[in-house]
Structure 1
Amino acid sequence: MEPAQLTAALMSTINTTRIILQYMQHQDLQNQARRRRQRWRRQSGHESDEDMDTDFSKSTGHRNLAILVAMGQVPDVERRVWARETSTDWWDRIVLQVWDDSQWLQNFRMRKGTFMELCDLLSPALKRQNTRMRAALTVEKRVAIALWKLATPDSYQLVGNQFGVGKSTVGAAVIQVANAITQVLLRKLVTLGNVQAIVDGFAAMGFPNCGGAIDGTHIPILVPEHQGTEYINRKGYFSMVLQALVDHKGRFTNINVGWPGRVHDARIFRNTTLFKGLQQGTYFPDQKITVGDVEMPIVILGDPAYPLMPWLMKPYTGSLDRSQELFNYRLSKCRMVVECAFARLKARWRSLLTRLDISQTNIPIVITACCVLHNLCESKGEMFMAGWEAEANRLASDYAQPDTRAIRTAQQGALRIREALKTSFMTGQGAMV
């Protein structure tokens, strides 16, 4: 053994011996005091010799165990799971075995069949191994905890009590499931899909050659750790913006999440891949129609906060004549699908209506996961239950959506397309209302 190693070993032995001697001296003093108390109690008729001997043997046993620990010779005893045991009967015996589809829909926002299909899709990303310290939650239970938390404004503690787990487990489940949904399902479910079906759907609603409607909505959040003032919107609360393009059925086809609430919708839009694709003519197929004497590509519809572009139609503002009012009516009727989509999204996943109590870096992931779940529910035909909207409106009243300043940016070609559409609607040559 090297001299340095020998010195270290000797010092370790000396330190261990000193600790043991100090502990034994402390225990001896305690035992002496205990004997005096017990002798007095016995003489007074309060305690027997047998009680005193039992207490003494216990204290000696504890001392011997402490000495073994100090010497690094821990006895081989059975290790027990350290986590607090809680009841899971409600989940195992009631929810999984007794609840019908209406109860699943009310509490998890989807029927049991859809829930199990979701779990199968997420299983490769969520499956965990048991350890010697604790048994891993099943994929089904982890997904159920996350959906329950997203669907309610309940605290982590309340959700944990419901499922028989700790509140930290609830928080971990929400982030794990949201990450898995984003990684596995985002590109599959939030996608453009059949463009011709979308165009036909909007045409039936009154607007020709339309590929979607765009808008932004503010999600309340806690005070951010950094750059807090950037997140204060025009209504005075902290928020993060979700900007989305939806199809004629109110399903998200493109989303952008994470911009601070103070940022204008037009600025967010100009910094998205959606804007670049539309500007370059690569997002939609090159499918043009002729309106009057003007060629019109596939367009999207926005409110006055967006720029008027050849591929983005927005309403007229100011004093309007009859033809402009008719144009605005047609556009508004079709653009309502995005507002309805946001309303259904938040009514299903009510955690988006109150301040999201998660870290700033995880908020976009959770919002994205809710959008994916919205599309899943819509594509599976999951019922939107009576009462959800009223409850959502009650919760949303504390965080009203801020008004967005209108902008007057317009390209000359876009003005010509809008004028041609206005004329065609007025003369009855456009799509019927």
Structure 2
Amino acid sequence: MEILLNLTLDEICEQRKDRFSLNLRKRRLLKSKRKMFRYKCLSLKRKIPKNESFIKTIKSFPEDIFYSHFRMNWATFKALEKALTPHWVSARLGRDGHSLENCLYMTLWKLCNSRVTFRQLSDRFNIAKGTSHRVFNKTIQAICNLKSEIEWPSVDRQQEVMTNFENSRESPFPFVIGCLDGTHFNIPTPGVDAISYYDRKGNHSVSMQAICDSQYRFLDVFIGYPGSCHDANVWTNSPIFQAIISGELQLAPSAVILGDSAYPISQFLMIPHRDNGHLSREQKTFNARLNSTRVFIEQAFGIFKKKFKILNYIEASSIKATSNVIFACAILHNFIINRGGYFEHVNDTITHADMETNNEIGGIQDAPIRRVDSDDINGIDRRNYFTTLFSS
């Protein structure tokens, strides 16, 4: 009986082995057929003609032609490529194995030209449309790693910034370490909470708050708030405001930041007297000196938007992606200035269409009603001191 049972078990095992071998051969045959099918599909895939000569001719561009395409000179481009190298992970295999240099060409081209689609980008640089999208996002992320280009100055450096502001005007506002303002960037209608991004001009937008020095360099940026938010609310919720009032961020003695009437006055933030039609001569003199210095931030925004045309209308997959594009442009803006890059003349760059101000028709937009606290009172006293000083 035991012998018969053993024989039966052996037969069952042999049958299972045969079935397993048969199934294995079938799976291998099926895998081979699928591989051949994919190969045939790839060999029959339509090849779309693209521009193969543009990227090959870039290196032969003269300085001015290269600048007109990529908004920076050759030396700045090479410095940018070198700075990004530690943050760049190159794919040696696969469809995205493009060099950092070529990826920079593609990304800068899209940033510096208005409403460039990924289809147009892929055609100009002879790559697939999906690849152009991945390359652009990858390069933007790499540029965002250079956030040290936007740096708030130390107390010693603030003294130098004050001196530069004073030397920039015949009648400067004293003790200025930065000029503050906000600007908006139009975006497509968001899929979530679209009403919050509907600004006073009837567009959907995100805002950027910035502080700049007399060289149009951004000292601080705060990006991503919905376009419907008032500038005063953006300011009081910004990290730099919280850092100043908490004492985490030190300001030089007597240092002030200049803003417009949309912002709340404080010891370190000077704004003009509200023009109600009855300003005294001393108040008008104060406003004139403040506004003549505060215009640096308006000019910085004008240069910023003129250089990076993508900022006129940013089409991105999410608000975070939009903020990354704006932040990358701000980093590049500072990178160019820090490396001695040249701009067009400011007078040619600033136009009413380019300059984003808080001015409504004939005046400053109304600030939200706030309670008056001790910091406001100290700010008012300090503004009155400056008003008297300028008239003496």
* 1:392-403 alignment, distance < 5 Å: 403=360
Tell me the residue number matched to 1:249: 215
Equivalent of 2:175 in 209, 232, 242: 209
Tell me the residue number matched to 2:279: 320
SS in 2 for 1:215: strand
2:243 is aligned with what amino acid? Answer: G
Larger Rg: 1
CA contact (8 A) 1:83 1:134 kept: no
Tell me the residue number matched to 1:422: 387
- CA deviation profile, 1:105-125 (whole Å, cap 9, x unmatched): 111010112111101111222
TM-score (norm: length of structure 1): 0.74
d(CA) in 2 for partners of 1:232 and 1:213? 26
Tell me the residue number matched to 1:221: 187
- CA deviation profile, 1:172-223 (whole Å, cap 9, x unmatched): 222212211111x112344326211111122333111111110000010111
d(CA) in 2 for partners of 1:200 and 1:9? 90
Matched, 1:310 2:272: no
SS in 1 for 2:211: strand
1:363 is aligned with what amino acid? Answer: T
- Percent identity of the aligned residues? 25
d(CA) in 2 for partners of 1:312 and 1:386? 29
d(CA) in 2 for partners of 1:324 and 1:238? 37
SS in 1 for 2:311: helix
Equivalent of 1:108 in 57, 65, 70: 70
TM-score (norm: length of structure 2): 0.81
SS in 1 for 2:320: coil
d(CA) in 1 for partners of 2:389 and 2:17? 93
Structure 1 residues without counterparts, runs of 5 or longer: 20-66, 288-296, 428-433
CA contact (8 A) 1:347 1:392 kept: no
* Cα distance, 1:415–1:191 mapped onto 2, change above 3 Å: closer
* Cα distance, 1:426–1:70 mapped onto 2, change above 3 Å: closer
d(CA) in 2 for partners of 1:387 and 1:248? 12
* Cα distance, 1:419–1:74 mapped onto 2, change above 3 Å: closer
SS in 2 for 1:362: helix
d(CA) in 1 for partners of 2:296 and 2:256? 15
CA contact (8 A) 1:308 1:415 kept: yes
Tell me the residue number matched to 2:367: 406
| Deviation at residue 272 of structure 1 after TM alignment | 1.3
Q: Which deviates more from structure 2 when the two are superposed, residues 157-166 or residues 80-89? A: 80-89
Equivalent of 1:188 in 149, 161, 169: 149
Equivalent of 1:341 in 300, 308, 311: 300
* 1:103-252 alignment, distance < 5 Å: 103-131=65-93, 133-134=94-95, 136-153=97-114, 154-183=116-145, 185-192=146-153, 194-204=157-167, 205=169, 206-252=172-218
1:422 is aligned with what amino acid? Answer: T
CA contact (8 A) 2:140 2:328 kept: yes
d(CA) in 1 for partners of 2:132 and 2:122? 6
d(CA) in 2 for partners of 1:282 and 1:382? 33
Structure 2 residues without counterparts, runs of 5 or longer: 1-8
Q: How many residues were matched structurally? A: 362
* Cα distance, 1:208–1:426 mapped onto 2, change above 3 Å: same
Q: Which deviates more from structure 2 when the two are superposed, residues 261-270 or residues 381-390? A: 381-390
- CA deviation profile, 1:373-432 (whole Å, cap 9, x unmatched): 1111122232223799679866x59x99774423565511111100010000001xxxxx
Equivalent of 1:365 in 324, 330, 342: 324
- CA deviation profile, 1:97-143 (whole Å, cap 9, x unmatched): x1011111111010112111101111222231222x43611100101
* Cα distance, 1:186–1:362 mapped onto 2, change above 3 Å: same
CA RMSD of aligned residues (A): 3.6
CA contact (8 A) 2:299 2:350 kept: no
d(CA) in 1 for partners of 2:305 and 2:144? 18
CA contact (8 A) 1:108 1:147 kept: yes
* Cα distance, 1:401–1:311 mapped onto 2, change above 3 Å: closer
SS in 1 for 2:190: coil
